[in-house]
Structure 1
Amino acid sequence: MEPYRSILFVPGHRPRWVEKAIATGADCLVLDLEDSVPAFEKESARNAVAESIARARETSPDIGLFVRVNPLATKMTGADLEAVVVPGLTGVFAPKIEQATDVLQYDALVDHFEHRNGVSGLEYIVPVETVKAIHNCLEVATASPRVGAMIGPSAQHADIAREVGYEWTPEGLETLYLRSRVLLACREAKIHALTGLWEDLDNLDGLRQFAVRGRQLGFRGMIVIHPTHVETVNDVFYPSDADIEFYRGLAESYEKAEAQGTGALRYRGLHIDKAHYDKAIQWLERARSIRLRTGAERGEQ
């Protein structure tokens, strides 16, 4: 999966909001058919989302376009996918997955509608929303090649908060174990690790602090529920010039020392060896991928 920094939700029955969402600079949009769409508008929202995908893809060929469908238990998932698996779609935001068999049910549906509608290569973003999903997160992450990202839960009031019963704090210690389990599952499955959302819409300083803590923990992007949050999240998960200089210098210093027969050395006051070099190379590869994706935005070539 692409190294999306920001994944912004847009209610599927509000097609006029899609253009505004693109203008925020979000790396990826999730057009929602689930919680943000009233029951009586579900059917019309499917057609609106399909049309939004076509329009968005014409103007923004590189943006990620996912659709959050209704969960399998609602019996609406098939009808959702039938309508929205169209050319231009990047993937499916698949809610309420708890075990590998749930993923395989999605696979069966997506395989069918891909073939029927002339689409291929769809991926899943999987939110972890229940206690059972926490226990089975590695099983879910490795259940299908379509699983491209998983979200470490941190919601203040949504499903996981109700299921676990924690009392939310801005520091996030009450969800640290939950998020850590998901993070490790993502690392083992080699998929994109996303941290959950920040619900305090006007508190941008709190958002930045939360996003930084997520990045420090090991997450590489974040779910966003309000357009004003995109800029902050993009900035937090963007590799800085100073960090790139540090890791390039580390790699170059190690390579020079290794060529001279030295396996350990001092770099900017730090002891470094092969393990540090390997981390630097991996970090630089990810940074290059992000910068290539966002080069036009930053004025880079």
Structure 2
Amino acid sequence: MHPYRSVLFVPGHKPAWAHKALASGADAIVLDLEDSVPDELKRESRATVRATLAELRARSPFAGLFVRPNALDTRLAGGDLEEVVCPELTGLFTPKIRDAADVLRWETLTDWFETRNGASGLEMIVPVETVDAIANCGEIAGASPRVGAMIGPTSRHADIARAVGFRWSPEGSESLYLRSRILLACRQYGLHALTALWEDLADLAGLRAFADYGLQLGFRGQIVIHPSHVPVVNEVFTPTDDEVDYHEKLVAAVEESTAAGHGAVRFQGQHVDLAHADKARDWLAHAHRVRNFARP
């Protein structure tokens, strides 16, 4: 999965909002058929989402376009996928997954409707919304090659807060263990690690601090719920010119030292060796993928 910096949610029954989301510069957009759509509008919203996907893809060949269908237990998921799986779709934001068996149920549905509707290569973004999902995050991460990303839970009012019972704080200490489990599962299986959302729409300084702490932990992108949050999150998760320059020079210094028969070298006042160069190369590979992600 592309290392999306910002993944912006939009209610599926409001196509104008989806176009604003694309204009915001979000790397990926999730058209929601679940929690943000009233029950009486869920079925008719499927056709709206299908039409919106075509419109958004016509405007941008590069943006990630995802749909969050309704949970499996609602018995609406099959109808959702029958309507919205299409060539324009990048993947699914699969809700309420509890274990590997749930992943395989989603995979089976995706296989069927992908073949039926002429789509291909659909990926899953898996939110962690239940205690079972936290306990089973490793098996979830490795259950299917379609799983491309998982989300470390942090939300103040969402399902995970109710399930765990934590009291939210801006610093996020109450969800650090939960996020860390998800992060390690992502690293183990090579998934894109996303941190969850910042719910205070007006507090951009708080958003920046929260996103930066997520980056510090090892997350590489964030879920957002308002277009005004996109520029902040994109900036935080975009490697800077100075950071790229530092890592490129570190690799060059170690390579020069190795060529001269040395295993370590002093670089900008620090002791660095082959392990440091390997880490820098990994970081640079990620940085170039992010910075080269073209958006019209």
Q: TM-score interval w.r.t. the shorter chain?
A: over 0.9
Partner of residue 196, structure 1:
196
Partner of residue 289, structure 1:
289
How big is the shift at 1:208?
A: 0.1
| Residues 1:27 and 2:27 are matched in the alignment | yes
Partner of residue 164, structure 2:
164
Partner of residue 83, structure 1:
83
SS in 2 for 1:199: coil
How big is the shift at 1:146?
A: 0.1
RMSD over aligned Cα, in angstroms? 0.7
SS in 1 for 2:193: strand
Distance 2:254 2:198 in 1: 40
Paired positions, count: 296
- Structure 1 counterpart of 2:135, one-letter code: H
Partner of residue 46, structure 2:
46
- Structure 2 counterpart of 1:121, one-letter code: G
Residue deviations 1:45-67, cap 9 Å, x none?
10000000001000111000000
Partner of residue 180, structure 2:
180
How big is the shift at 1:98?
A: 0.8
Partner of residue 154, structure 1:
154
Distance 2:242 2:96 in 1: 40
Partner of residue 266, structure 2:
266
Q: Compute the TM-score of the two structures, normalised by the length of structure 1.
A: 0.97
SS in 1 for 2:10: strand
How big is the shift at 1:143?
A: 0.1
Distance 1:275 1:182 in 2: 25
Partner of residue 122, structure 1:
122
| Residues 1:143 and 2:143 are matched in the alignment | yes
Distance 1:281 1:293 in 2: 18
Residue deviations 1:135-183, cap 9 Å, x none?
0001000000000000000001111111111110000000000000000
In the TM superposition, structure 1's runs of 4+ consecutive aligned residues that sit over 4 Å from their partners are none
- Structure 2 counterpart of 1:181, one-letter code: R
- Percent identical among aligned pairs is 59
How big is the shift at 1:116?
A: 0.5
SS in 1 for 2:292: helix
Q: Show structure 2 runs of 5+ residues with no match.
A: none
SS in 1 for 2:167: coil
Distance 2:158 2:114 in 1: 31
SS in 1 for 2:238: coil
SS in 2 for 1:293: coil
How big is the shift at 1:248?
A: 0.5
* Alignment map for 1:238-257 (pairs within 5 Å): 238-257=238-257
How big is the shift at 1:99?
A: 0.3
How big is the shift at 1:275?
A: 1.1
How big is the shift at 1:16?
A: 1.3
Q: Show structure 1 runs of 5+ residues with no match.
A: none
How big is the shift at 1:274?
A: 1.1
SS in 2 for 1:290: helix
Distance 1:88 1:186 in 2: 26
How big is the shift at 1:17?
A: 1.2
Partner of residue 13, structure 1:
13
